[in-house]
Structure formats: C-alpha cells, structure tokens
Structure 1
Amino acid sequence: MTAMAHQPLTQADVLLEGFLALETPEGFRAELIEGEIVVTPPPDGDHEDYIGLIVEQVHQHSRTRMQFSGNKGLKLESRGDCPQDRVIPDGTFAPRELRLYRGADSWMPCKGVAMVLEVTSTRPKADREAKRRCYARGGIALYLLVDREASSITLFSNPEKDDYREQCTRPFGKPLALPEPFSFDLETADFL
C-alpha cells in the first residue's frame, strides 16, 4: 500500500486556516470577504435600533413565519484562488419551518435563507459592494441594506452570479415593499 501524497496548501487554504483560528475581542466580528480578513468593532445604538425596527415589523407582518439571527455567519462558495467567504450579516431571516439556526456550528450555508440584512457602519463600502456580491454568489434571494449615510433603504433581488439584477431604493420615511415570502410594506418613518 502506498502512502497518499499530501496536497500542498494553497494561499487560500492558509488564509482560511488563519481566519478560522482568529480570536477577536468580545463584541468584535471577524469576516473573510473576498480574500480579505475584516474585523469590525461592536455596533452603536442607532445601528441596533434599525435592526430592531425591521425585526419587529417582519415578526408582526410577514406572511411567512420567520426566524431571525444576528449571530450566525454564512459560508459562501470559493471563487477562483480565493478562500471560501465567511460573512456575518447584521441579520438573517429564514422561514421558521426550516429551523436553519439549529446546531452548534457558528457558520451555516446560505441555502434556505430568505433575506440578509445589513446596516452601514464603520465600513459602508463593504456593505454596499463586497457583501452584496457575496450574498448574490450565495444565491440569497433578498438583500436589505439600510444606508445610514444616504438616509435610504435598498432591497436587492434576483441574484445572478456576482450581483443582484434588481434593486429598489427608498428614502427614509417612505415604505419599501418586501416581496414573497414576506409580502408586506416595510415602514421606515421611524428611521428618521
């Protein structure tokens, strides 16, 4: 019997291994986005307020019962010589019947996630661009972006390859229609 030859580690393998070994201070988040390790500080109160306002409306008005998580990270497919993206959205929504958040692993696949939510903070460009591409590659049908600098909310839909084919932006104060499986108008008057 011959010994199997070990495959040499690629740069992507080393980066993913180093990322998974990181220990961040409490409240900080480490993500691996398009081959770059990104560490973000704990969010401020306004950031959390926007998330709370959205979660409350989803639980009250969504046609489909949704579960929410603000802690589970998403594993996305590798691209080319980059390691698998590991992204932690500010929030994910999934139909309750799927029970996607069960299990001890802090990283879950994207399959079954109905919508991801991001609220811009210290790195708004990452939320507007890199994370949008990650979520589209993951096949997540809806990406909701609360852009605090622009005082607007955008729903990206119809993912295809590295981006979303459609987007609808509304200024704070105007409602934004959320399609199936949510099927209600998200009110943003309280965002002002």
Structure 2
Amino acid sequence: MTASRPQMSPEQFEAIDGAAERQDVALEFTAGRLGVKPLPDGNHGETVMWLLECCLTQRPDLRLYPTSRLRTGRGGVAKPDGLLARRRAFAGRGRWAEPEDALMVVEVTSYDADANRRDRVEKPVAYAEAGIPVFLLVDRDAGAVSVHSEPEGGRYLSVVTLAYGHVVELPGPVNVTLDTEELKEFAR
C-alpha cells in the first residue's frame, strides 16, 4: 500500500469537525481521508452499553468512554464507539484523547457501505500504528467479535475472531472476559 497525499491537515479537519458536530454528523480523519460515520442505531447503542457493563463489572479501575475522540497514527483522529482507559484518565484534558492513554478501542460495525473499509481495514491499521494494545471489533454483519492485540509495525500480530455465543478473553492490559451470547439479541 503506497502512501498517498492526505486530503487535509489534522488542524483543518478539527475546524470542519467542530462545524459538523453542530449538525449531528460524526466525522473521522483516518488514512489521510475524511470519513463520515453514521449515527448509531438502537442495537448499536445496546451493544456498547453491554460492553460497558462487562468492563465495569470486571474492572472497576477502568472506564469505557463511549463518546471519546482519539488521535491516531499519521495525524488521524477517530471517534471510536468505545475507548477503555484508566479511571479519570481524561480529567482536565482537552478535546482529543491521546493514544498512550487508551488500553483498548472498540468499534461496532454499522450497516453502511463504508463499514468494511472503515472498521475492518483502516481502523485496525490506525489503532496499531498508534500503539493501542487492544482493538475490539464487534462485527454485526458477521455476527462475530474480533480481538486484535500485539500492535507492531502498523498492524496487530494477533487477531482472534469468534462467532457470537462464544466466550472471548480480552488480553492484557484489559483482562476482561466477555460472554457474547447476549450479542445475538442485537444482531439483524
């Protein structure tokens, strides 16, 4: 994959993002491209809340922030569906979280044409480049959960994918066990 010239600078993106936010549009800037992320549906929100409950129950020292903004590799910025960090990691901070505070990022796929490129291709690279230890993809199209870990050289060396209904172990530094049976309720 050859590097292409970015559409704009991160600063230009932040100015556009501020204006778009007032219009209820979610924008991201990954792989040097401006992207539009659809607003979540009810099952998407329930999936994020399920994960929040799992994390809080097993790891009360951590928080899953569902509305965070995150700087990623190569000047990108993303709005993951969840960002797991130590409790109060973002207190007193600015608008954008830095990747060194993230223990895990979460994306729940949406039913749109860009989901494959955005969630399955660009996001794993951006999060691995940023050195985020764990990337959890809840893939509603596939009815599966993919755990990406061991970031190195712009990719995750370990990717484990299991269908809904299996028990999923999130590796350190997360160390949370997910019984994904409940996710079947939120599938199409």
TM interval, short-chain normalised? 0.7 to 0.9
Matched residue SS, 2:27: strand
* Deviation sequence 1:148-173 (CA, Å, 0-9, x none): 01000010000012110001111001
Is 1:180 the counterpart of 2:180? The answer is no
Alignment partners' CA distance in 2, 1:178 and 1:70: 18
Asked if the contact 1:117–1:143 (Cα under 8 Å) also holds between the matched residues in 2, the reply is yes
Is 1:65 the counterpart of 2:61? The answer is yes
5+ residue gaps, structure 1? 1-10, 79-83
Is 1:148 the counterpart of 2:140? The answer is yes
Larger CA deviation: 102-111 vs 86-95: 102-111
Tell me by how many angstroms 1:73 deviates: 1.2
- CA RMSD in angstroms comes to 1.8
Amino acid at match of 1:105: G
Alignment partners' CA distance in 1, 2:92 and 2:62: 18
Tell me by how many angstroms 1:16 deviates: 2.7
Amino acid at match of 1:55: L
Larger CA deviation: 125-134 vs 181-190: 181-190
Equivalent residue runs for 1:159-174 within 5 Å: 159-174=151-166
Count, aligned residues: 174
Alignment partners' CA distance in 1, 2:56 and 2:149: 21
Higher helix share: 2
TM-score normalised by length of structure 2: 0.85
Work out which of the two has the higher radius of gyration on C-alpha atoms and give 1 or 2.
1
Asked if the contact 2:103–2:132 (Cα under 8 Å) also holds between the matched residues in 1, the reply is yes
TM-score normalised by length of structure 1: 0.84
Give aligned-pair identity as a percent: 29
Asked if the contact 1:72–1:101 (Cα under 8 Å) also holds between the matched residues in 2, the reply is no
